[in-house]
Structure 1
Amino acid sequence: MTSNSIESVAVIGGGPSGLAALHALKSEHSFGKIRLFERKSEPGGLWVHDDIPEELPLLTSEKISKPLAVPGNLPGKYPTQGFPVGFKSPAYKYMESNVPEPLMSFSYAHIKEVCSPKSVELLGPNHPFRHIDVVKQFIQDEFKKYIGMVQYNTSVERVFKRGDNWILILREINKDNDGHDYWYEESFDAILVANGHYSVPNLPNVPGTQELQKANKSMVQHISSFRNVEDYRDMKVLIVGTGISSTDFVSDILPVVQKPLYVSVRGEVPRKDFLDSFDGNSSLSLKPGVKSVHLSRDREHFNATFTDNSTLEGLDKLVFATGYIFDFPFLSDEEIVVNENNRIENLYQHIFKIGDPTLSFIGAVIAGISFRVFEYQATLVARVLSKRTSLPSVEEQIKWEKDLLEKRGDLHTFHVVPPDFKVYYDDIVRLAGPANGKGHELEPFGDDWITILNNGRNLKLKYWRRN
């Protein structure tokens, strides 16, 4: 690489954000080498369903996702270490998108207008949400355009700078089906991280959870393990959290659980979607934060104490609907820091490492309108790397982060896009500039987008309120 050119780019992650990255990079016709590495055997990310969920590890204060030790001699084959934490998808068989079409698609490629029979019963014909299988097929069909650029069954174990180049230490999992992984390294001029943020669960450190897990590992779970409502039939359940995943989950299991269904509110009030869906529902009982849990005398149930010192006894299941963390185990703190509040530090526009735009991230936002936000971010990254546009000065980038910190605080909500959709999207459009014959034009955020989102939310409220 010369000081003025980026010739090779690595993309980490084969979900929709990685797909958007491939499209944007290829459209520039500027890079001699574009490679995407995906640890699964097929593309799709969280839209690839796993029948058996990932087992929740014993809950401690330590991170559950840790980098593997790198062998001393590379390249080489070593006994397989299997798949990393977060490998399995949190999706379930009947899952539907929460983002309405046409915004769920890319502007240049649309998901088929197919509605599942179950969703038609609940939401009517021609509704804007799509079943997991339809979304998965769309992603996999689009990936066929980039077959020569994609390598599956490959886990990225380390990413670091060596001089001006980025080094990836890669592990091909059980490469020759002989129980061994093949470890090696490759060099690139730029790295685009697109590994999503619905893999590693965010798990509060509630005293007593280890005791429950040791007695019965199924007593404590994260919502990412949900697969079937029948797993909760006639159970006395306590859910922690009131976000969008909790809202979906509660609406599904409410008919089968023992009433009332208890929900612990982590903040002062439930999230808006949850409140609008279940306010006044006598089948739910809201509780404050969980202070501690401990086994009942029969060791088959558990009791919970809350921050107001109220208690519940004889509970069957503790479900953390507490979201996920940003997880980049392949990057050291020298490259990027995800702090204890789950905020990625030192990122401009939630995309570029400040001071080094050769390290960028796609999808490191919350509620940003998937897949459309991936398209916009990836387009900007590709145009910056191809030198067709440039970023503001480092000082201006630092000021952008500082200003947003003052507004949002040093929390994971720093990465939440709404209600500032228009500001964020228009900033991306402005920075990316015109297509000029490469790729496509990025449309400014329009009032019709808000209408589509609001109409979609109203339909979802109908779904959530059905029970």
Structure 2
Amino acid sequence: MAPRYNRIAVIGAGPSGLAAVRALAAENAFSTLRVFDRRDHVGGLWHYDPEPDVFPGTTDVPQRVVSPPSTLPGFAPPAGKDPRARSALYWELDSNVGAETMAFSYAPFPKGSSASSLARLGANNPSRTYNVVAGYLEDLFTPYLPLVSLGTTVERVEKAPGTKEWTLTLRKEGEQYRGTQHDYWWTETFDAVVVASGHYHVPLIPSITGLIDTAHALPGRFEHSKSYRKPEKYTGKRVLVVGGSISAVDFIQDLHDIVQGKLEVAIRGRNPALEAAYNLPNVRQHPTVASFARGPNDKVVATFSDGSVVDNLDSVLFATGYRLQYPFLQPNPTTPQNYVSGFYQHVFNVNDPSLTLVGQVKAALSFRIYEYQAVAVARYYAGRNARALPSVLEQRRWEADTLKLKGASSNFHEIAPDLGAYYNWLADFAGKPAKGTDAYELPQWQEAWGEHGFSILDLKAKYWQSVIDKHNAGVRAKL
């Protein structure tokens, strides 16, 4: 049976891109498979960049302006590296999902925990360093490297009205033209497109009175978690952490005992699983920040929503998440509320399922969930899916119901606590593989996956509580 679509493009060579190209190749059904990534290596953001992003100094999303040549294909002056492509990894980042569950079902992770995780979480803990994760992805990508075009930015993805083809406008850096390096621009056409470009590129900076002016007046005092690298930078400084989720508690853990005075923390939404981190010694909690201003001696003044003030800050570190961005898609499906609209089950474009997303979910146990999404997409593109997509009306009703349940924010893409239902929907939709292919049947959800996947948070909570207990015992001993 002929595939539903024959020529497939995959945008992104990170873990979700790997999941996509492997699942598509396994179907042995397509005449063309191409993968494009703007970085110079596979593995996506699991590679450490020593030089971080700079704070944008504005709440607006920074957009680069690149100018294509007047005709395509053709050469244009170099646009330069996009700083938003830099990794968000910090020096001792370990995975927050247990390795056994985080791994693709067909390939377990090798061993490898950081020294800090061994000290804090114990021997044989299920975390993995970013180096281990990056090597894992590179090894698994090896058979598909002939399909990958690195250093290639997808500038535009569009389908002209009345046509069946997607046109990708592409730009490759560092091509020699008349003795100097230029960007080479061209187009390629495909029947279907898988967007697997990730969503940890553009920092989400909250809109706070005085932030822009203060950041401009005091350059270097404000940072986003994407710029965080090593805790030593903050030793002996007065620091405010803004945020209360995973990155924020990593910073609290790193900084609470090395800063000058109290580590100030502004928390909007509290996660009960992280409560012990908020209560670590030397941490002073605040509600949301109402305003920033430049204070005496070029210090940052923060005023909080309860009227309290901290007026001598050296550094403000935002751990406030990321803005979802797919600027190359025409039309762009991202919303002002920071969720992606129009994709059924966060995967299939409602109006045109030849456009799909892989990886646009949260709290879903990556990388395993990318594998499930990718197999569902590959089976659908090959015309071998076991179940049909529901009607467009039903798909739109699913989005409306999910918005009511999760809210109009990036939390719209949160899968937990309904992991079993989501995994099993993808497995049932994909169904069994065709004979004579390398495809396979996705296993049904197992409750043990969730328990293992989230076990690192349990270990962290126990460590934080042990630090609190030790501190309290020392205080009591001095009384």
TM-score category of the 2 structures, normalised to the smaller one = over 0.9
Give the Cα–Cα distance (whole angstroms) in 2 for the partners of residues 284 and 105 of structure 1: 35
Counterparts of 1:123 and 1:4, CA distance in 2: 48
* 3-state SS of paired residue (1:138): helix
1:226 is aligned, of 225, 228, 247, to: 228
**Which position in structure 2 is the counterpart of 1:365?**
361
Task: Judge conservation of contact 1:251–1:466 (CA < 8 Å) in 2.
Answer: no
**Kept in 1: contact 2:97–2:455 (CA 8 A):** no
Residue in structure 2 matched with residue 241 of structure 1 by the alignment? 243
Of 186, 189, 200, the residue aligned with 1:198 is: 200
Cα offset, 1:403, TM superposition = 1.6
Report matched runs for 1:132-143 at 5 Å. 132-143=130-141
Q: 283-292 vs 168-177, which deviates more?
A: 168-177
CA contact (8 A) 1:67 1:157 kept: no
Change (3 A) 1:453 1:72: same
Q: Tell me the C-alpha RMSD between the 2 structures.
A: 1.9
- CA distance in 2 between partners of 1:362 and 1:5 (Å): 18
Residues 1:71 and 1:463: Cα distance change in structure 2 (over 3 Å): farther
Equivalent residue, structure 1, for 2:381 = 385
- Specify whether residues 327 and 367 from structure 1 end up closer, same or farther in structure 2 by C-alpha distance, changes over 3 A only: same
Flag the 1:405–1:202 CA change in 2: closer, same or farther, 3 A: same
**Partners in 1 of 2:196 and 2:307 — Cα distance?**
43
Residue 320 of structure 1 is matched in structure 2 by 318
Confirm or deny: 8 A CA contact 1:352 1:359 kept in the other structure.
yes
Q: Which runs of 5 or more structure 2 residues have no equivalent in the other structure?
A: 468-479
Q: Secondary structure at the match of 1:46?
A: coil
Alignment match of 1:374 (pick from 370, 373, 394):
370
Whether the aligned pair in 2 keeps the contact of 1:65 and 1:329 (CA below 8 Å) is no
Equivalence for 2:23: 24
How many Å apart are 1:92 and its aligned residue?
1.9
Cα deviation, residue 450, structure 1: 2.6
Equivalent residue letter for 1:37: F
Q: In the alignment, what sits opposite 1:173?
A: 173
User: In the alignment, does 2:34 pair up with 1:38?
Assistant: no
Q: What displacement does 1:72 show?
A: 2.5
Q: Percent identity?
A: 37
On the 8 A contact 1:291/1:305 being kept in 2, the answer is yes
Partner SS state of residue 365, structure 1: coil
CA distance in 2, matches of 1:223, 1:430: 38
Q: How does 1:63-462 map to 2 (within 5 A)?
A: 63-66=61-64, 68-162=66-160, 163-176=163-176, 178-267=180-269, 270-279=270-279, 281-299=280-298, 301-332=299-330, 335-389=331-385, 390-437=388-435, 438-462=438-462
Task: State the alpha-carbon separation in 2 of the partners of residues 462 and 176 from structure 1.
Answer: 56
Q: SS where residue 263 of structure 1 aligns?
A: strand
- The AA in structure 1 aligned to 2:16 is S
Shift of 1:329: 1.3
Looking at structure 2, the residues matched to 415 and 3 of structure 1 have their Cα atoms a distance apart, in angstroms, of 33
Q: Which residue of 1 aligns with 2:476?
A: none
- CA distance in 1: counterparts of 2:290 and 2:338, whole angstroms: 21
The one-letter code of the counterpart of 1:444 is: Q
Deviations 1:382-439 (A, max 9, x none): 0111111232221221121122122122222111111111111111111111224441
CA contact 2:240–2:264 (8 Å) conserved in 1:
yes
Structure 2 CA distance, aligned partners of 1:12 and 1:152?
Answer: 11
Amino acid at match of 1:166: W
1:466 Cα deviation after fit: 6.1
**TM-score, normalising length: structure 2:** 0.92
* Aligned partners of 1:244 and 1:273 also within 8 Å: no
Q: Does the CA-based 8 Å contact 2:73-2:185 persist in structure 1?
A: yes
Shift of 1:378: 0.3
Q: Distance in 2 between matches of 1:374 and 1:34?
A: 18
Which residue matches 2:473?
Answer: none
Note closer, same or farther for the CA distance 1:213–1:278 as it changes in structure 2 (3 Å cut).
Answer: closer
- In 1, Cα distance between the equivalents of 2:423 and 2:125? 25
User: How has the CA–CA distance of structure 1 residues 41 and 466 changed in structure 2, closer, same or farther, with 3 Å as cutoff?
Assistant: farther
Question: What SS does structure 1 have at the residue aligned with 2:102?
Answer: coil
Kindly state the Cα deviation for residue 278 of structure 1 after the two structures are TM-superposed. 3.0
Contact kept in structure 2, 1:243 and 1:273, CA below 8 Å: no
**Distance in structure 1 (CA, Å) of the matches to 2:407 and 2:399:** 11
Q: What is the deviation of 1:59? A: 0.8
Residue 454 of structure 1, CA deviation: 4.3
Structure 1 residues 275 and 171 mapped into 2: Cα distance closer, same or farther (>3 Å)? Answer: same
**1:328-353 residue CA offsets vs partner (Å, 9 max, x unmatched):** 11113xx3421111111111000111
Report the more deviating stretch, 192-201 or 65-74: 65-74
CA distance in 2, matches of 1:40, 1:181: 14
Structure 1 residue 259: Cα displacement: 2.9
C-alpha contact (below 8 Å) 1:236/1:259 kept by paired residues: yes
* Cα 1:317/1:350, change in 2 over 3 Å: same
Report the Cα distance in structure 2 between the residues aligned to 1:409 and 1:214, rounded to whole angstroms: 33
Distance 1:282 1:94 in 2: 21
Q: Following TM superposition, by how much is the alpha carbon of 1:465 offset from its aligned partner in structure 2, in angstroms?
A: 4.8
Deviations 1:96-132 (A, max 9, x none): 1001021111001122123333322322222211011
3-state SS of 1:402 partner: helix
Once structures 1 and 2 are overlaid, which stretch shifts more, 427-436 or 163-172?
A: 427-436
Q: Is the 8 A contact 1:67 1:329 kept in 2?
A: no
Match of 2:471 in 1: none
- How far off is 1:85 after superposition? 4.4
Q: CA deviation at 1:209?
A: 2.1
Long gaps (5+) in structure 1:
none
d(CA) in 2 for partners of 1:53 and 1:224? 7
Equivalent-residue separation in structure 2 for 1:464 and 1:35 (angstroms): 46
Q: 1:118 to 1:309 in 2, by over 3 A?
A: closer
Q: Indicate how the Cα distance of structure 1 residues 50 and 166 shifts in structure 2: closer, same or farther if over 3 A, else same.
A: same
Count how many residue pairs are aligned between Structure 1 and Structure 2. Answer: 459
Aligned-partner Cα distance in 2 for 1:464–1:249: 13
Which whole-Å CA distance do the structure 2 matches of 1:465 and 1:229 have between them? 21
**Contact persistence 1:354–1:398 (CA under 8 A):** yes
Q: Secondary structure, in 3 states, of the residue corresponding to 1:36?
A: strand
User: Could you tell me how far apart the structure 1 residues matched to 2:274 and 2:454 are?
Assistant: 16
Compute the TM-score of the two structures, normalised by the length of structure 1: 0.94
Are the structure 2 counterparts of residues 76 and 190 from structure 1 closer, same or farther at C-alpha, using a change threshold of 3 Å?
A: same
